[in-house]
Structure 1
Amino acid sequence: MFENIQIDLYLESLITKLGNNIFVWSNLIELIIITFFLILAYFINKLIFKQVRELLSKIDFLDERKQFRIIDQLLYPLILMFLIGVYYIIAASFAIPAVIISIFGNLVSAWLLVKALSLFFPRNKMFRFLSALIWLIAALRILNIYQETLNLLESLAFHSGNLRISLLMIIKTVIIFSILFWLAGKLSRLVTNKIDNSEELTPSVKVLLNKIAKFIIFTAAVLFTLSSVGVDLSAFTFLGGAVGVGLGFGLQKIVSNFISGIIILADKSIKPGDVVEIDDVYGWVRKLDTRFVSVVTRSGKEYLIPNEDFITKEVINWSYSDELVRVEAKVGVSYNSDLRLVQKLMQQSIESKTRILDKPEPNVLLMGFGDSSINFELRFWISDPQNGIQNIRSEVLLSIWDYFQENEVEIPFPQQDYHLKSLPAELNNYLKKKNEVK
């Protein structure tokens, strides 16, 4: 079955190719040096591990887990890079071949960069994209076609007015923007945490500063990206007129809500935690956004109300100047009731309610004499409107009902009496016949 295969010739050809291309003395010497560097870097890593660990422990913002990851992933490739750098200096001084060492150096550089990325990027799409890019650049350098590839990408271009857009520019823009956008997100979260942890700023000022900081940081990332790839930013000045037209038409409501949000934050009329009432919505403010205010009701519904409504409509802020809120409970009693007893019973109905304040004092007022009842009003104060107003009013009214039932105080309902002065003749005759039958 295998009689036609000339194994001897195949092995001889393979050995010849290896001898002519791989197993030359210069390459073998470099491979031995690389092996020596790998072993030497391992022992140096073990030797200086503790010293580097102690040095990193002096950096306050690095916890113990972060310190170990840095040393574990970066120390060994860093030592290898140092040894390769020393070899390059010696090779340049004495004209020693460094072809294999150069390839090895590119691989170690790519490995080091990927390890460094893993410390800051989670292993998501961005990490895989940047890792693939690093290994691709390393491969191009090993094949010695890196500059030729850049020239090819630069030649694939088109013109848009005075702006020249090449494939290389697009790739550089995507890479730089991805990195800067990630850095902007990290910086934005850091600034936000600093502002939120400040005890000297009010909640509304914190929200305003956070929005301004995010806008500045991400705008700077975009502008720096365009500038770094050689785009003349003055070429975008024509966008000013287009933006102006857009603000006047399509973006009118968005800009109106954005400006209204800034006004709300500046005058501090609404802030997170306030209890507000607008139209038929009653609840507490969860957060202020650039476009809307999030209001959560007692039933758990979250309304996203446009900022403009808080400027143009009537808004009740139950906790604007303070959180003291007066609640009224109106009750009517019959005309044969003991009014002094009614006042006493209504006063007793709030004595066991922990939410009702003693100061200011509750008060029971006789409001007037109605058509069917004598009207009273119980006024009391609470300091936690975020916990609800209708519920405490309901509790008080139920207590009043119980006290009135126990003391036989009547709550009347509307009544009307009709007096007939005359009746039609037919109705009179009918009623007389009915009486005669009886």
Structure 2
Amino acid sequence: VTEAFFLQAQRSRLAGGLGTRLSFGKMESGLRKILTVLVGVLWLMLFATNLNLYNLLFRVIEHTLTAPHRLGSTTFTLGGVLLFGGIILLTVQAQKYVGYVFGVSDEEFDADDSRKGSWLVAVRLALLAAGLLLATVASGLPVDKIALVLGALGVGIGLGLQNIINNLVSGVILIFERPFQVGDYIEVKGQTGRVKDIGIRASKLTSQAGSEIILPNGDLLANHVINWTLSNNHIRTELPLNLGPDLDLDEARRLISEEILANPHTLHKIAPEILLSGVTTSGYDLKALFWINNIRQEQALKSELLASIYQRLTAAGIVMR
């Protein structure tokens, strides 16, 4: 059974153009626990049948679960309460692992991965809403009483859980307004990183250093968010260069500009700017401003360009310090 789930998840990844292998350990562990419980229940039923105790145990359990109980003016059964809680529990677990069905794993990180959108969060919210509705209907609990309890809880929520509800509502707004998507590179409250997950209560960013930043959805909605990749992945970057004295400054600028434009990861339609930022007795301080086509490759590209510029200038007899 676990292999069947794994094959379905891997097939969904391949159909979506994701060639990397899916990490299936977390879901496999959860499936094994569920299957172990089911097998245990079936074994107990078979064991009771062999001892001719199945019918007796069945009648006792049936009576216990269906016997009516009263709490004030409300009548309920233990079976209804257990059914309500069981469906809610299964719904919560299902929304955690629903991404695996579509080949999406929350644990994976690929810096070159394209934006996935926020549809997965909408699916999770729909599952939670459908699970709550199904649990209410299937359990037979009085809907009017549940509505009364929820109304009473609303007062407590309004007083003590304002931040949590604010984050939940903000998560719903982020899903439909979509100021950013999974895979976007954003900056908010001084924190910069790639959006790894848009959750119901909080969202996760992965910084360039690899750390995970968890931000409440309320903060994302209330603060200024800079989305570097909303319409494209382009960004203008700066590369400082320190050159020695006794050189032809115009020739050095030309060589640097040619070397930048020769790199396939820079934008050629916008000419780089080579600016003089300082002059000292030891040489010239230059600042190269140019556009690159992928913000996620900024640091690697700057390192690559610095090495190639050094080689080009050294070959031309220009000293870098």
Q: Quickly name the TM-score band, shorter chain normalised.
A: 0.5 to 0.7
Give secondary structure in 2 for the equivalent of 1:354: coil
CA distance, structure 2, for counterparts of residue 321 and residue 336 of structure 1: 44
Amino acid at match of 2:125: I
Cα gap change, 1:298 to 1:249, in 2 (>3 Å) = same
* 1:2-33 Cα distance to aligned partner (Å, 9 max, x none): xxxxxxxxxxxxxxxxxxxxxxxxxxxxxxxx
Aligned counterpart in structure 2 of residue 261 of structure 1, from 152, 161, 171: 171
- Number of residue pairs aligned between Structure 1 and Structure 2: 278
Matched, 1:322 2:232: yes
Q: How does 1:26-425 map to 2 (within 5 A)?
A: 123-129=35-41, 132=44, 159-165=70-76, 169-171=77-79, 173-174=81-82, 178=86, 193=101, 203-227=116-140, 231-331=141-241, 333=243, 337-351=247-261, 353-358=263-268, 360-366=269-275, 376-386=286-296, 388-407=297-316, 409=318
- In 1, Cα distance between the equivalents of 2:194 and 2:120? 16
Deviations 1:15-65 (A, max 9, x none): xxxxxxxxxxxxxxxxxxxxxxxxxxxxxxxxxxxxxxxxxxxxxxx9xxx
Give the superposition deviation at 1:289: 0.8
The 3-state SS of whatever aligns with 1:204 is coil
CA distance in 2, matches of 1:286, 1:179: 29
Task: Provide TM-score, normalisation by structure 1.
Answer: 0.51
Going from structure 1 to structure 2, the CA distance change for 1:142 and 1:130 (only over 3 Å counts) comes to closer
Residue 393 of structure 1, CA deviation: 2.1
User: 1:408: how far off?
Assistant: 5.1
Aligned equivalents of 2:98 and 2:120: distance in 1? 15
Partner of 1:11: none
Q: Contact 2:119/2:175 (CA < 8 Å) preserved in 1?
A: no
Q: Residue 219 of structure 1: CA displacement?
A: 0.8
**Contact kept? 2:92, 2:128, Cα under 8 Å:** no
- In 2, Cα distance between equivalents of 1:349 and 1:153: 78
TM-score (norm 2): 0.67
SS in 2 for 1:236: helix
| 1:385-424 deviation line (CA, Å, top 9, x unaligned) | 23x3123223323443444445454668xxxxxxxxxxxx
Q: Secondary structure, in 3 states, of the residue corresponding to 1:349? A: helix
Shift in alpha-carbon separation, 1:140–1:368, aligned structure 2, 3 A:
closer
Q: Cα distance 1:244–1:188, how it changes in 2: closer, same or farther (>3 A)?
A: same
- For 1:394 and 1:337, the matched residues in 2 are separated by 24
Letter of the 2:166 partner, please give it: S
Aligned to 1:50: none
Q: 1:390 and 1:212 mapped to 2: Cα distance?
A: 37
- Write 1 or 2 for the structure with the bigger share of helix: 1
1: CA distance, partners of 2:64 / 2:219: 56
1:241 to 1:178, Cα distance in 2 relative to 1, 3 A: closer
Q: Deviations over 1:144-170 (max 9, x none)?
A: x97687567766x753211245xxx21
Work out the CA distance in 2 between the residues paired with 1:264 and 1:149.
46
Deviation of residue 332 (structure 1)? 5.4
Report the secondary structure of 2:171's partner residue: helix
SS in 1 for 2:179: coil
- Secondary structure of 1:284 counterpart: strand
- Taking structure 1 as reference, are residues 377 and 409 closer, same or farther at Cα in structure 2, changes over 3 Å only? same
Provide, for residues 82-125 of structure 1, a one-character-per-residue CA deviation record: whole Å limited to 9, x for no partner.
Answer: xxxxxxxxxxxxxxxxxxxxxxxxxxxxxxxxxxxxxxx96411
**What letter corresponds to residue 217 of structure 1 in structure 2?**
A
Equivalent residue, structure 1, for 2:109: none
Q: Could you tell me how far apart the structure 2 residues matched to 1:288 and 1:205 are? A: 7
When Rg is computed on C-alpha atoms for both structures, the one with the higher figure is 1
Alpha-carbon contact 2:272-2:289 (below 8 Å) kept:
yes
Question: How far off its partner does 1:271 sit?
Answer: 0.6
- In 2, the alpha carbon distance for the partners of 1:141 and 1:122 equals 23
| Alpha-carbon distance in structure 1 between the residues aligned to 2:256 and 2:122 | 49
- Cα displacement (A) at 1:223: 0.7
**How high is the sequence identity, in percent, across the aligned residues?**
19
Tell me the SS of whatever aligns to 1:343: helix
Deviation at 1:343, TM superposition (A): 0.9
The 10-residue stretch of structure 1 (348-357 or 146-155) with the greater mean CA deviation from structure 2: 146-155
The answer to whether the 8 Å contact 2:91/2:127 transfers is: no
Determine if contact 1:203/1:271 at 8 Å carries over to the other structure: yes
Q: Is the 8 A contact 1:364 1:376 kept in 2?
A: no
The 1:130/1:374 distance shift into structure 2, 3 A limit, reads same
